[in-house]
Structure 1
Amino acid sequence: MPQITFLHPDGKSGEVPRNVTILEAAELLGFPLTHDCGGNASCTTCRVEVQSGSDRLSEIDFDEQDLLDREGLSEPWHRLGCQARVMGDVVVRVPLHKWERPSEAASVQIVDQSCNLI
Structure 2
Amino acid sequence: MPIIKILPHQSLCPEGASITAAPGTSVCEALLENGIKIEHACEMSCACTTCHVIVRQGLASLGEIDETEEDLLDRAWGLEPNSRLSCQAILAQQDLLIEIPRYTINHASENH
* TM-score band w.r.t. shorter chain: 0.7 to 0.9
User: Residues 21-50 of structure 1: CA distance to partner in whole angstroms, max 9, x if unpaired?
Assistant: 110110121111111111111110100011
Structure 1 length-normalised TM: 0.74
Which blocks of at least 5 consecutive residues in structure 2 are unaligned?
105-112
Change (3 A) 1:52 1:64: same
Larger RCO (CA within 8 A; separation ≥ 6): 2
- The answer for unaligned runs of 5 or more in structure 1 is 99-118
Q: Secondary structure at the match of 1:64?
A: helix
SS at match of 2:4: strand
Cα RMSD (Å) of the superposition?
1.8
Aligned length: 98
Match of 2:97 among 87, 91, 95: 91
> Alignment partner of 2:103: what SS?
helix
Verify: 1:18 aligned to 2:20, yes or no: no
Tell me how far apart the structure 2 counterparts of residues 65 and 16 of structure 1 sit (CA, whole Å).
24
Larger radius of gyration: 1
Partner residue, 1:49: 54
Is the 8 Å Cα contact of residues 39 and 51 (structure 2) preserved in structure 1? yes
Greater Cα offset, 62-71 or 14-23 = 62-71
Runs of 4+ in 1 over 4 A off after TM superposition: 70-74
Q: Structure 1 residues 16 and 72, CA, compared in 2 at 3 Å: closer, same or farther?
A: closer
1:4 aligns with 2:17: no
Following the alignment from structure 2 to structure 1, what is the Cα–Cα distance between the partners of residues 78 and 67?
Answer: 14
Could you tell me the TM-score, scaled by structure 2's length? 0.78
Which residue identity is paired with 2:51?
C
1:79 is paired with a residue whose SS is strand
TM-superposed deviation, 1:60: 0.7
